[in-house]
């Protein structure tokens, strides 16, 4: 039997939960939400590797829409671990009575748009079929589409292996084990120090060294939370008008317009404070001016040399790409971990991994016996979660075909040929502090749906011309910055055969947010309403 609702929301993480709440409780719509996990949490439901935490300060890694919620919730520290982030989302689900409209353990397998009655038919892996006017994806950019490189011999490995993004919820006992970690992105950098504490011996297989700023998780004082809670109105005002969704701006100066002494003072202060502010809260030109950027890159290279005792190991850990040409990372004792006697760093650039054997990993020049192998090898970002669902728009258009040159979305919200499909943080939206980006999208989508209903409109979709222009703008924005100079998951380069295209808009979040609002106020400029 097909059930009719106003809207189907896919996913019950930060995005899906708030979308459900907005549509059901503010707009009075009937909503069904489907979630593959057994509970709410999204990425924080799945991403349970040792040391998994948010990289944004928790006081802004949360919803801002309810002042009471902000006052009543207490975080245990500056960057909570995955379980605590899940607990927060569980609390949100209970507080707004959201669970009654969420079907758990259920994966949406297909969605097809029927132009004649402007409705979506949504099918799940349990065989349920639902008809809805609106389809909203809150499927995240990463969680479900883990990338495990195709290294010969994995099937023969006699030990355990796990991807960081699908870590067993009951944990993995690493005591007395020889553990190998492949990958040193955000996940690798977070899990390596914690695994080193637990395992008998840790071997890290490094292909691309990373810059990373100390998180300073423990750095908060007694008045930290009361001060934050008292200041929330201003914190959100600043965050929502900022470049990255954080309540700080750059200092307004160019790195080379100040003396070397002043520059170093700025870097040292931000290094001591810790966190992503080092990237976004220092000089205004680090992201796009090579000479300015070099001052920060060199500062961080020197820090690595200070933190790592063995000079040869330190040199292997020093990146040659510019800082901020990859997603900035924060860590807790990552570099210091290489000073431990029970940790071995294997640089796979001169001698790549050639195979996984029954007993370990073999590189071009050595074999490393292992009991447990950890793939911190990332995700098929954005397209992975979308392509896992057979989504068909008008006249059977598929996302796989429409996005064969790379995923696109007008303002990251909608894509042509897929009327009434709204993507929360879809391709072409800003990255930055995600809960803040998500809230902006959810509110925009809810206002848009309200507009359609109040004006007797059946559908909205991106105008192909507007989408094309936005996609070009996204590419230009990346090309003018450090981020456009290096391959990574941000341009699809991490997955063999994946189209190369920048999946996020590296423009100013506050201005982007205003642009989305302005577009709506001008009658949804760049969208086609019917
Ligand atoms: P990332 O940032 O994509 O990192 C994946 C890491 O895995 C990276 O160091 C890769 O090296 C490495 N990798 C991938 N394949 C291989 C092979 N075959 N051999 C050796 N090393 C390999 O994923 P994360 O999970 O850390 O982070 C993803 C995002 O999640 C993060 O930015 C946050 O937004 C949350 P490479 O750099 O490709 O040389």
| Cβ-contact 375, 151 below 8 angstroms | no
Residue ranges in 428-463 assigned as alpha helix (H): 434-454
Residue 186 has what pLDDT?
Answer: 97
In sequence order, what E strands does 282-438 have? 330-331, 343-347, 353-357, 360-363, 367-369, 372-375, 390-392, 421-423, 429-430
Separation of alpha carbons 313 and 183, rounded Å: 17
Separation of alpha carbons 446 and 431, rounded Å: 21
Separation of alpha carbons 80 and 92, rounded Å: 16
Q: Which atom of ligand 1 is nearest to the CA of 494?
A: 38
Is 144 near ligand 1, meaning CB less than 6 Å away?
Answer: no
Residue 1 has what pLDDT?
Answer: 66
Going from the Cα of 514 to the center of ligand 1, the distance in angstroms, rounded, reads 33
Residue 144 has what pLDDT?
Answer: 78
In tens, the pLDDT along 379-407 reads: 999 999 999 999 999 999 999 999 999 99
Residue count of the chain, please give it.
Answer: 530
Nearest of 217, 269, 226 to residue 248 by alpha carbon: 269
| Cβ-contact 219, 489 below 8 angstroms | no
Separation of alpha carbons 435 and 62, rounded Å: 6
- Against a cut of 0.85, is the pTM above it? yes
DSSP assignment string, 185-251: SHHHHHHHHHHHHHSSEEEEEESS----EE--TT---TTHHHHHHHTHHHHHHHHHTSSSSSS----
Chunked into runs of 10 residues, the chain (530 residues) has average pLDDT values of 91 98 98 97 94 97 98 95 97 98 98 97 98 97 88 98 95 98 98 98 98 93 94 98 96 98 98 96 97 98 98 98 96 98 98 98 98 97 94 96 96 98 97 96 98 98 98 96 93 93 96 98 98
Going from the Cα of 208 to the center of ligand 1, the distance in angstroms, rounded, reads 9
Using DSSP bridges, classify how beta strands 108-114 and 390-392 pair: parallel, antiparallel or unpaired.
parallel
Beta bridge partners of 214: 331
Is 207 near ligand 1, meaning CB less than 6 Å away?
Answer: yes
Going from the Cα of 193 to the center of ligand 1, the distance in angstroms, rounded, reads 16
DSSP assignment string, 307-337: H-SSHHHHHHT--SSPTTSS---EESSHHHH
| Percent helix, percent strand, percent coil in the chain, to nearest 5 | 35, 20, 45
C-alpha distance from residue 163 to each of 69, 168, 183, 358, 361 (Å): 34, 9, 10, 18, 16
Separation of alpha carbons 529 and 515, rounded Å: 19
| Cβ-contact 424, 411 below 8 angstroms | no
Is 348 near ligand 1, meaning CB less than 6 Å away?
Answer: yes
């Amino acid at each position: 039997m097909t059930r009719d609702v106003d809207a189907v929301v896919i996913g019950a993480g930060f995005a899906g939960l708030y979308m459900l709440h907005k549509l059901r409780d503010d707009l009075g719509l009937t909503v069904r939400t489907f979630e593959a996990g057994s509970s709410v949490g999204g990425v924080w439901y799945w991403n349970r590797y040792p040391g998994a935490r948010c990289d944004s300060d928790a006081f802004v890694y949360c919803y801002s829409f309810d002042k009471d919620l902000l006052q009543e919730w207490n975080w245990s520290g500056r960057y909570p671990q995955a379980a605590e982030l899940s607990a927060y989302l569980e609390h949100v689900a209970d507080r707004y009575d959201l669970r009654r409209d969420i079907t758990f353990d259920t994966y949406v397998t297909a969605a097809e748009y029927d132009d004649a009655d402007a409705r979506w038919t949504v099918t799940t892996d349990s065989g349920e079929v639902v008809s809805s006017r609106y389809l909203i994806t809150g499927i995240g950019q990463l969680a479900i589409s883990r990338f495990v490189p195709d290294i010969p011999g994995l099937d023969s490995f006699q030990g355990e292996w796990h991807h960081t993004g699908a870590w067993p919820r009951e944990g993995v006992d690493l005591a007395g084990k020889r553990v190998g970690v492949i990958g040193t992105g955000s996940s690798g950098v977070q899990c390596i120090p914690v695994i080193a504490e637990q395992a008998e011996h840790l071997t890290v297989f490094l292909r691309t060294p990373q810059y990373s700023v100390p998180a300073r998780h423990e750095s908060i004082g007694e008045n930290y939370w009361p001060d934050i809670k008292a200041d929330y109105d201003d914190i959100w005002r600043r965050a929502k008008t900022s470049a990255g969704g954080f309540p700080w701006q750059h200092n307004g100066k160019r790195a080379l317009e100040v003396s070397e002494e002043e520059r170093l003072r700025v870097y040292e202060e931000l290094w001591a404070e810790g966190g992503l502010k080092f990237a976004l809260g220092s000089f205004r030109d680090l992201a796009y001016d090579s000479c300015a950027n070099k001052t920060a890159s060199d500062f961080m290279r020197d820090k690595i040399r200070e933190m790592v005792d063995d000079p040869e190991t330190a040199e292997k850990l020093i990146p040659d790409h510019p800082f901020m040409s990859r997603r900035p990372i924060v860590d807790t004792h990552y570099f210091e971990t290489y000073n431990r006697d029970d940790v071995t760093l294997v640089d796979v650039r001169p001698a790549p991994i050639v195979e996984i054997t029954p007993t370990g990993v073999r590189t071009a020049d050595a074999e490393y016996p292992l009991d447990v192998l950890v793939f911190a090898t990332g995700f098929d970002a954005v397209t992975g979660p979308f392509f896992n669902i057979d989504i068909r728009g008008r006249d059977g258009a598929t996302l796989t075909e429409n996005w064969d040159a790379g995923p696109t979305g007008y303002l990251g919200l909608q894509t042509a040929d897929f009327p009434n499909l709204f993507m929360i943080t879809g391709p072409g939206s800003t990255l930055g502090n995600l809960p803040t980006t998500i809230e902006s999208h959810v509110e925009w989508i809810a206002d848009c749906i309200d507009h359609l209903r109040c004006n007797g409109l059946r559908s909205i979709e991106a105008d192909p011309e507007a989408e094309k222009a936005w996609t070009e703008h996204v590419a230009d924005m990346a090309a003018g910055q450090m981020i456009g100079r290096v391959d990574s998951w941000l341009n699809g380069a991490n997955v063999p055969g994946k189209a190369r295209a920048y999946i996020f808009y590296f423009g100013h979040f506050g201005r982007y947010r205003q642009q989305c609002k302005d577009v709506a106020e001008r009658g949804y400029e760049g969208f086609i309403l019917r």
